[in-house]
Amino acid sequence: MRLKLSILISILVFGFAFSQSKEVLVVVENINKYSKVIDKDPKVIEYKFEVKGKDKTILYQYSKKGNEIVKISREWKRDSNDWWELYRDYFLLKNGERIFAIQSITYTNMSDAKDIIGWSSTFWIDKKVIHMVSLGHGKSEMDDWDYELELKDNFNYMLKTAKEFDKNRLAKIK
């Protein structure tokens, strides 16, 4: 009887875990499809601007479909002696909410301009991160990295910066 009960419980637990994974995969696939649609949509218009700091210049890009921001990204370089570190953050939005994100760092050798190593993490988001893929050595290997908080803070800051630029851009047109 115990053996039958433990088999039944195992089947239910593994079945439930598998069904959650299936649901996540469906959401991931829907986000991927949406991303392709946005990338091909001729109504999506891209804007660029720079924010100069004391030790770096950050290039921002955002895309709008009508009045809605659907993509936002930023990148900047940092000199680290023999190589450049190129930092990138990217968010895909749907109805004003982040649904997909990529963070990456690419290290490029200054002497021959060849990429020598890199790190990236890709996130699919449904209110919170539901799936993550990380490649290379970087933040994802740190036990104390709170990617949920970092993504939220980066997104909020980037969106605020892009909206402020867009507001000023529209004011100049009028």
Q: What residue type is 35 in one-letter code?
A: S
pLDDT at 114: 66
Q: Residue 24 is encoded by which pair of tokens?
A: 């996540």
% residues pLDDT > 90 (the chain): 53
CB 50 within 8 A of CB 57: yes
pLDDT at 6: 44
Q: What residue type is 155 in one-letter code?
A: F
- What average pLDDT is seen over the chain? 84
User: Is pLDDT above 70 for 109?
Assistant: yes
Q: Helix count (H) and strand count (E) of the chain?
A: 2, 7
**What distance lies between CA 112 and its chain's CA centroid?**
29
Local confidence band at 113 (pLDDT 50, 70, 90 cut-offs): low
Regarding predicted confidence, which is higher, 83 or 116?
Answer: 83
User: How many angstroms separate the CA atoms of 33 and 52, rounded?
Assistant: 35
CB 41 within 8 A of CB 65: yes
**What distance lies between CA 15 and its chain's CA centroid?**
31
pTM over 0.85: no
Q: Residue 123 is encoded by which pair of tokens?
A: 């996130």
CB 121 within 8 A of CB 102: yes
Local confidence band at 37 (pLDDT 50, 70, 90 cut-offs): very high
CB 139 within 8 A of CB 123: no
Number of residues written out for the chain: 174
DSSP, residue by residue, 19-33: HHHHHHHHHHHHHHH
User: How many angstroms separate the CA atoms of 76 and 105, rounded?
Assistant: 10
Starting from the edge strand earliest in sequence, which strands make up the sheet with 44-52, in order? Answer: 44-52, 57-65, 68-80, 83-94, 97-109, 115-126, 128-136
